[in-house]
């Protein structure tokens, strides 16, 4: 016969399991004194490793409300209590912890104390905060153009009532422009959320970058011509391998970069797109002699909604989501991007993409 059910063995096994648990565990008796706590709990709360049990719970837990709750549950108040909503509290080193407490009941359902588990929810809190900030920014970006459209339509309506429709065409065309901006914004937001949920670049195939860039430039040349910009492509001086990627993702990356170069370069300027081999990567440079960007903005332009506001850029419409989309796509494709720029001189955006392995088909 084995000693599998021997109470002493069982108890030491249970003890070893509780000691090893990554979740913090604390147990009190009916007087609210701590009778057990594991290393994870000491670490979460910042208690010394050698701190012994035996004292009132308030000497261990740094949050007064939680201590009060634990005491009440330990003492069986209220008697029918069996579940408490998770309780969140801040701890040392900017940590956020979440506690759950349950009464420990004996055979006759009498209360013997309480068991408390504690989880570190700091990462969740950070994500939550970022999500809230994002929703606030999106709401702001949607609300201001919608309010303008609302005012413009209201003015047209009142003109119609008063029989003075002279400025209506202008107002309606401004309202139409704003709705176009909103449609672009929502399209970019949907693209970003698809990138972040991993729903892009799921079917990569070998793409010859030279052909793809030539097509994009041919397409955008019409837009460049309106501003009398010279948009050129310098093909590589050697045969280059393909890249293994989703062609739509590549079109979005280079379409965004060349469109930005067109938007942020004054009439008569020039934009040059160059393609090279750089070791195991292919390197594309989009060079313009446009407005340029001050160095203090350079690491921020890849953040969502960040737009540099100067006298020159204020009339350029945009969403502030183009570069975050480019960066997100490059992250998925294993590529990277950098920017060099000087105000009044222009900008160079450089993209590196891994070349496809020779056997890729």
Q: If you write DSSP's letter for every residue of 227-257 in order, what string do you get?
A: TT-EEEEE--SS----EEE-HHHHHHHHHHH
Footprint of ligand ADP on residues 259-278 (CB under 6 A)? Answer: 260-261, 264
Min dist. Cβ of residue 267 to ligand ADP (A): 15
**From 247, 269, 290, 328, residue interacting with ligand ADP (rule: CB under 6 A):** 290
Q: Assess contact for 206 and 354: CB atoms under 8 A.
A: no
Q: Which one, 87 or 306, has the nearer CB to ligand ADP?
A: 306
Instruction: Report how far residue 288's alpha carbon sits from residue 260's, in angstroms, rounded to the nearest whole number.
Output: 10
The two structure tokens encoding residue 333: 């494709």
Instruction: Report how far residue 11's alpha carbon sits from residue 19's, in angstroms, rounded to the nearest whole number.
Output: 12
Residue 287 lies near ligand ADP (rule: CB under 6 A): no
**From 69, 201, 323, 355, residue interacting with ligand ADP (rule: CB under 6 A):** 323
| Contact range with ligand ADP by CB under 6 A, out of 95-103, 170-178, 199-207, 290-298 | 290-298
Q: Which one, 103 or 322, has the nearer CB to ligand ADP?
A: 322
Min dist. Cβ of residue 212 to ligand ADP (A): 19
**From 175, 209, 293, 353, residue interacting with ligand ADP (rule: CB under 6 A):** 293
Total binding residues for ligand ADP by CB under 6 A? 20
Footprint of ligand ADP on residues 204-263 (CB under 6 A)? Answer: 256, 260-261
**From 320, 334, 343, 354, residue interacting with ligand ADP (rule: CB under 6 A):** 320
Residue 307 lies near ligand ADP (rule: CB under 6 A): yes
**From 25, 27, 220, 291, residue interacting with ligand ADP (rule: CB under 6 A):** 291
| DSSP character at residue 320 | S
Q: Which one, 204 or 320, has the nearer CB to ligand ADP?
A: 320
Distances (CA, A) of 289 to 224, 257, 293, 345: 13, 14, 11, 6
Give the helix/strand (H/E) hosting 333.
helix 322-333
Residue 347 lies near ligand ADP (rule: CB under 6 A): yes
Closest CA to 19 of 50, 40, 49, 33: 40
Instruction: Report helix, strand and coil shares of the chain as percent, to nearest 5.
Output: 45, 25, 35
Q: Which one, 101 or 185, has the nearer CB to ligand ADP?
A: 185
Closest CA to 330 of 306, 311, 349: 349
Min dist. Cβ of residue 334 to ligand ADP (A): 21
The two structure tokens encoding residue 151: 């005012």
Preceding peptide of 78 cis, ω within 30°: yes
Residue 319 lies near ligand ADP (rule: CB under 6 A): yes
Min dist. Cβ of residue 23 to ligand ADP (A): 42
Residues that bind ligand ADP (CB under 6 A): 256, 260-261, 264, 288, 290-291, 293, 301, 306-308, 313, 318-323, 347
């Amino acid at each position: 016969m084995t000693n599998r059910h021997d109470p002493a063995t069982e108890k030491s096994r249970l003890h070893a399991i509780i000691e090893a648990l990554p979740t913090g565990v604390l147990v009190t008796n009916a007087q609210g004194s701590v009778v057990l706590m594991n290393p994870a709990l000491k670490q979460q709360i910042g208690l010394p490793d050698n701190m012994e049990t035996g004292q009132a719970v308030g000497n261990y837990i740094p949050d007064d409300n939680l201590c009060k709750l634990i005491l009440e549950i330990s003492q069986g108040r209220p008697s029918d209590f069996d579940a408490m909503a998770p309780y969140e509290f801040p701890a040392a080193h900017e940590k956020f912890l979440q506690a759950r407490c349950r009464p420990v009941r004996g055979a006759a359902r009498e209360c013997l104390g309480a068991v408390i588990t504690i989880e570190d929810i700091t990462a969740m809190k950070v994500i939550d905060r970022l999500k809230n900030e994002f929703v606030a920014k999106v709401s702001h970006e949607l609300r201001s153009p919608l309010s303008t459209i609302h005012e413009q339509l209201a003015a047209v309506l009142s003109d119609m009532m008063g029989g003075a429709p002279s400025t209506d065409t202008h107002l309606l065309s401004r309202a139409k422009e704003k709705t176009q901006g909103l449609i672009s914004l929502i399209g970019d937001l949907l693209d970003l959320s698809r990138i972040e949920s991993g729903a892009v670049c799921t079917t990569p195939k070998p793409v010859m970058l030279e052909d793809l860039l030539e097509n994009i430039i041919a397409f955008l040349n019409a837009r460049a011509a309106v501003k009398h910009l010279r948009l050129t492509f310098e093909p590589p001086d050697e045969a280059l391998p393909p890249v293994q990627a989703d062609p739509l993702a590549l079109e979005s990356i280079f379409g965004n970069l060349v469109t930005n170069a067109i938007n942020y370069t004054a009439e008569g300027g020039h934009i040059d797109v160059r393609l090279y081999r750089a070791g195991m990567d292919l390197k594309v440079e989009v060079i313009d002699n446009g407005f340029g960007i001050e160095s203090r903005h350079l690491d921020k332009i890849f953040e969502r909604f960040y737009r540099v506001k100067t006298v020159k850029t204020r009339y350029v419409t945009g969403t502030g989501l183009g570069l975050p989309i480019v960066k997100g796509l490059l992250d998925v494709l294993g590529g990277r991007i950098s920017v060099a720029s000087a105000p009044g001189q222009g900008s160079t955006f450089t993209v590196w993409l891994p070349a496809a392995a020779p056997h890729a088909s």
